[in-house]
Structure 1
């Protein structure tokens, strides 16, 4: 009997140790990638507001194709363009809930979530495309800065990459705009970035916040007279039909965020997370290069759409807007970020 009692005691002790060990393993695994078999399949959704042809579509297509290929078909990414899943802010909200998995969009339209992204809306901040590309490179301090911003805001969104997407120009349906004086009284559609409202107000325009997918009808109905965009956005949405005047302001380089829902990311096996990270960076580089290609091609095609192209007096615009940089950055509590960008010249 004594020997049986010893066995029973030993058995109870082993059961307690096993239970404690399992509890510790469970606790240490919280927040980490799921140890899902890499044979499990995932069907994910990527949203973007633009219509093809557009560099963001090229980014999305490359990303979807390469992710499926490198995961042996176990991760499939469907592309939902033209705002079919909602505008930028809606899809970012959906990404926080995990109902949209990826978003490729303009940084200015994500500024309500990450206010310091508005720094990319400072007109004539970058000296040239090379300066801009240094800032958005995945190994730059600027990317690391915003990667941390996404984390610290507890948005449940992970920034995968920053990209380009072309140069932004001014378009309207009233008349040619060559100087700041020509902008006075123009009702100008802008993304939801307060800093851009301040900038264009300084030039005499009347800013109006409007979803990108509402710009065409907004011009038609007189809600707005003009807008600023890349030529890809202008052409892809056939805005030349309602706004036939394009001014070559080149005031901004299109800054793009490529983001993923953390709820989606964390349910993927580590192997697939690494593939997502890798391919997103490659796609971002394609977006930047395609943006430059599209600018050149589409500028040459504008006359076919009966578009009036106007050169501007760049120095007049720069003289008014460059002095605003420091004050606007201070309003954003982003002076350190602004100086960081300046050091990359």
Structure 2
């Protein structure tokens, strides 16, 4: 793990040498070009990746090419954690990231990545639009020097990917499933009955192929984008996470932009996230059919036993039981 982190840091550093530096004083002249390098684990076929390209283009247009956004897919800029560390110290990088990863810095944010805390995109959206979540974003900026540009990038609901047919949590016993490594994800997979294994998403295909892991869990666009339909036989539709993600950059770098450019970057990020989320929702069935056509069996199951099995996850994190009650009030449950 340490070796991979070092390599990821080197990847980021190498990429940064290829482009103009951002984060410098806005007072240095109107002709200055600011470059922001954005990392994602997603492939170019993913509607979220396509949304990032739309964001890049709209920002370039509205700033007369003075803010240049470069997109790095398939984890080519490095691990999410390493990119966040670079962003903290003012480097011109950003990343599409889930709340589980941010919970390593602001623990309460991880509730968004808790199992079945939201049952749909609309519910997840209500959570991130609440004063509660906005307060956590402010704490992330104040305490960790990280700025949330938008948190409305919906990647879909996540399901189990295995070579064994799964009908109930007990069927997961003895299976090693990949997780992103964040504690909330790890505890969820453990509660379901499987053994979690932290691993970069780019390593899942060879990991399953070589028997290092027995499967994974992911949303349809990412599953298809990584060609995992080639190495798993079953997709079990548990919808245990509604994956709503955000674009996070360094607060120092953002503050180094002229105020007008800051507003454009943030506003266009939100607009692109809305459109990308709608596109994701509209394409979920299409991705599912493509994987069925490739030979994967999609298994519809009763998710209530999975919900019951993961209720214990909330007890493992300080204050999460109370937070869940507060969120249920926000959602009108």
Q: Establish whether TM, by shorter chain, passes 0.5.
A: yes
SS of residue paired to 1:207 = strand
When normalised by structure 1's length, the TM-score is 0.83
Q: Among residues 278, 297, 302, which one is paired with 2:291 in the alignment?
A: 302
Cα pair 2:172 2:192 within 8 Å, conserved:
yes
User: Which residue, out of 141, 152, 155, partners 1:151?
Assistant: 141
How many residue pairs get aligned? The number is 308
Deviation of the 1:239 alpha carbon:
0.9
What is the aligned counterpart of 1:338 among 320, 324, 328? 324
Residue 325 (structure 1) shift:
5.4
- The answer to whether structure 1 residue 76 and structure 2 residue 64 are counterparts is no
Alpha-carbon offset, residue 326 of structure 1: 4.2
User: Using a 3 Å threshold, how does the CA distance of structure 1 residues 86 and 122 change in structure 2: closer, same or farther?
Assistant: same
For residue 231 of structure 2, what is the aligned residue in structure 1? 242
Q: Distance in 2 between matches of 1:247 and 1:157?
A: 36
Alignment TM-score, normalising by the size of structure 2: 0.86
After superposition, give the CA deviation of every residue in 1:190-249 in whole Å (9 maximum; x if it has no partner). Answer: 112222222222222111111111111111221211111111110001111112210111
Flag structure 2 segments of 5+ consecutive residues without an equivalent: 1-22
What is the match of residue 123 of structure 1? 115
Q: Which residue number corresponds to residue 21 of structure 1?
A: none
Q: Which residue of 24, 38, 44 corresponds with 1:46?
A: 38
Structure 1 gap segments, 5+ residues each: 1-30
- The answer as to whether partners of 1:108 and 1:193 remain within 8 angstroms in 2 is yes
- In 2, the alpha carbon distance for the partners of 1:254 and 1:56 equals 12
TM-superposed CA distance for 1:103, in Å, is 1.1
Deviations 1:114-133 (A, max 9, x none): 33332123211113332122
Please say if 1:229 is aligned against 2:218: yes
| Secondary structure at the counterpart of residue 58 of structure 1 | helix
> For 1:110 and 1:117, how far apart are their aligned partners in 2?
7
Pairing 1:184–2:173 present:
yes
Q: CA RMSD in A?
A: 2.1
CA contact (8 A) 2:100 2:109 kept: yes
Bigger-Rg structure (1/2)? 1
CA distance in 1, matches of 2:261, 2:29: 11
Query: Equivalents in 2 of 1:150, 1:302: separation in Å?
Result: 38
Distance in 1 (CA, whole Å) between partners of 2:96 and 2:140 is 15
Q: CA deviation at 1:336?
A: 5.1
Contact preservation (8 Å) 2:188, 2:313: no
Contact kept, 8 Å, 2:24 with 2:257, in 1: the verdict is no
For the 8 Å contact 1:188–1:227, the answer to whether it is kept is: yes
